[in-house]
Amino acid sequence: MTLKGLRTPLPDDTAVHRVVEAHARRTPLATALTCGDEELTYAELNARANRFAHHLRGLGVGRGTVVGVCLDRTPELMTAVLGILKSGAAYSPLDPTYPRERLDLMLANLGRLELTVVSPATQDLIGHDHTKVLDIEALAPRLDALPAEDPQTDVTGDDLCYVVFTSGSTGTPKAVAVRHEGWYNLLNWLALEYGLDERSSGLSVSSFGFDISQRGLMAPLFTGAPLHLLPSRSFDVAMAHRIIGRRRVRTLHCAPSTLYLLAERDLAESPRGGPLTGVDHVFIGGEPLSVPRIEEWAALEGNTCTLLHQYGVAECTDVASSYALHDYPRHRTGSAPVGRPVYNTEIRLMDETDDGLAEVPDGETGEICISGTSVGEGYLNASPEDAERFTTFDTGDGQVRLYRTGDRGYADADGNLVVVGRVDAQVKIRGMRMDLGDVEHGVRASAAVEDAVVLALPGGDGGARLVAFVVPAAAPLDTRALRAGLLAVLPRNMVPEQFVELSAFPLNPNGKIDRKALAASAV
């Protein structure tokens, strides 16, 4: 089974930062960036980034090199990101909300790292064993004397633009290399598919280290719109909500867990909703969506916001498919679709056979494999096992390079992708093999449950036990009734032994549900 995105030609020049340079020439006085009360025009932001790029080039930074960025959400963050791209190098987000031990692991995995850009507020987070550091604030007087003109670099679509980290099963984060052509393709698709333009202002709310943040930062600048930075290291829902209203934000890119908090804030402000209902598009992805948690807000009369439920992986430039949510009651239980592929992208549902990978028949579930322009360069310093995730497949018309996501899904009757779990999420409970995603879907289907996460945790007999962490639709949760209802629809071994009632799930710095924290709380 293959889902195909629209094939559309890309320009010869797919260096993303050159689009920002074009906006600076065309609309130099338009607002490019705000952070608190500080504002920069496109001309000012471009000039700052140019001076920083010239400084980097003087240090020998250029094509084929990677520069770390450990900065808070400040104007210097975008000066650094754009300046690094303009120098010809790629940047790697090193999130200042991460502990130093985690950052050390990331730095150790960046074998191509030249230096890391810091500020006085973040410099103590970066050890000097793996990188040189460059304080961008201390550089300000020297940068003022450098040229403000765009540097001339020979960057192509095959060059790296950023290196972002994703979790590794061994506990070591993996460095994912993304190319300019893939990033350009994604941003161009967003602009054309959803009519984004200079009015499509965006607010960056997700953690800098999250792959979704890279498009959240660049999409407004790609379309000539203002980018608003949340001036807080950690996500502050009250502050974000105020900025959405004050700045009339029109686009957001975030995980569902962040959307839940914003929607709850909107409803708390007024039964008719607040400024979030006036946002044009909210692009959500990164974790399973619980429709009941946003249905009340989404169904408000006068709510003009379109929610785009998206699927993707960092290894394939973040987004592979997208679906405009509607008919919310239809998706209260089970998984909401994640739609059809983005431009120049194909999604194959495949299975292992004696002869290797083969596509599954229409309607059947298979491993989600992605091919096309969005597939990245791969992992830096990859283990043999990780490198095998990038492979080739003979379509009959030739070989294509594809990435095996490890996620399972199927195409519904309308040709939309539905994600149902992980290939490696299967566990054995008293000898019975099951998929944790299937158990979660069963728990979420209960009218008493708003959202649920199911984990397999060590049991007292040395085996595993299922524990369901539940956000109830109404407190208190009647666990006996919930268990009885599940026994009517699930095999006994798939019914969780324990139900833990929570008002909200803990979030990690990327804005996703922190499953490790949930597991630790149940010990």
Give the DSSP letter of residue 129: S
Q: What is the pLDDT of residue 509?
A: 67
- Strand partners for 33: 40, 227
Predicted confidence at residue 316, as pLDDT, reads 95
Question: For residue 512, what pLDDT band results from cuts at 50, 70 and 90?
Answer: confident
Percent of the chain whose pLDDT exceeds 90? 65
**Per-residue pLDDT at 330:** 87
Could you count the other beta carbons within 10 Å of the beta carbon of residue 523?
6
Quick: pLDDT tens for 277-286: 999 999 999 8
Per-residue pLDDT at 168 exceeds 60: no
Please give the Cα distance from 114 to 100 (Å, whole number). 19
Whole-number pLDDT of residue 129: 79
CA 450 vs CA 235, 269, 283: distances in Å: 23, 21, 21
Q: Where is average pLDDT lowest: 252-256, 328-332, 359-363, 438-442?
A: 438-442
Q: Are 280 and 200 in contact (CB under 8 A)?
A: yes
Cα 24 to Cα 52, 255, 433, distances in angstroms? 16, 31, 57
- What would the pLDDT profile of 376-412 be if each residue is shown by its tens digit? 999 998 888 888 899 999 888 888 999 999 999 999 9
Q: What is the structure's pLDDT at 420?
A: 86
Q: What is the mean pLDDT of residues 145-160?
A: 94
Decide if pLDDT at 447 tops 90.
Answer: no
SS (H, E, C) 344-362: CEEEEEEEEECCEEEECCC
Q: Is the peptide bond before 476 cis (omega within 30 degrees of 0)?
A: yes
Residue 220: predicted pLDDT: 98
Name the more confident of 218 and 173: 218
Residue 425 clears pLDDT 80, i.e. is over it: no
Residue 244 pLDDT greater than 70, yes or no: yes
What pLDDT sits at residue 68?
96
Domain boundaries, the chain: 14-254, 342-421, 425-521
Close Cβ partners of 385 (under 8 Å, ≥ 6 residues apart): none
**What mean pLDDT is predicted for residues 298-327?**
94
pLDDT band of 523, cuts 50, 70, 90: low
> Confidence band (pLDDT; 50, 70, 90) for 85?
very high
**In the predicted model, is pLDDT for residue 1 greater than 80?**
yes
Task: Give the separation between CA 383 and CA 403, rounded to whole angstroms.
Answer: 15
109 — pLDDT class (breaks 50, 70, 90):
confident
Judged against a pLDDT cut of 60, whether residue 431 lies above it is answered with no
Name the DSSP letter for residue 6: P
**The CATH homologous superfamily of the domain defined by 342-421:** Luciferase; Domain 3 (2.30.38.10)
| Average pLDDT of span 69-88 | 97
CATH 3.40.50.12780 fits 14-254, yes or no: yes
Tell me, rounded to whole angstroms, the distance of Cα 113 from its chain centroid. Answer: 23
Six token digits for residue 188: 């161009």
pLDDT at position 249 over 90:
yes
* Least confident piece of the model among 32-36, 195-199, 326-330: 326-330
Picking from 166-175, 180-189, 355-364, 510-519, which range would have the lowest pLDDT averaged per residue? 166-175
Instruction: Reply yes or no on whether the pLDDT at 332 is more than 90.
Output: no
Strands 251-254 and 202-204: parallel
Mean pLDDT of the chain: 90
The predicted pLDDT at position 433 comes to: 60
Would the pLDDT of 290 be above 80?
A: yes
pLDDT for res 152: 92
Tell me the CATH number for domain 425-521.
Answer: 3.30.300.30
Q: Which two tokens stand for residue 56?
A: 């980097």
Cα separation, 225 vs 459, in Å, equals 53
Which of 519 and 150 is assigned the larger pLDDT? 150
Tell me the per-residue pLDDT of 464-485, one tens digit each, with 9 for 90 and over: 789 999 999 888 889 999 999 8
Smallest Cα–Cα separation from 425: which of 449, 448, 402, 409?
A: 409
Residue 306 vs residues 12, 178, 299, 339, 480: alpha-carbon distances, Å: 32, 28, 11, 14, 38
Please check the confidence at residue 437 and state whether its pLDDT lies above 80: no
Sequence-ordered list of residues with C-beta below 8 angstroms from that of 148, at least 6 positions apart, any chain: 47, 50, 51
pTM for the whole structure: 0.84
Q: In angstroms, how far is CA 469 from the centroid of its own chain? A: 23
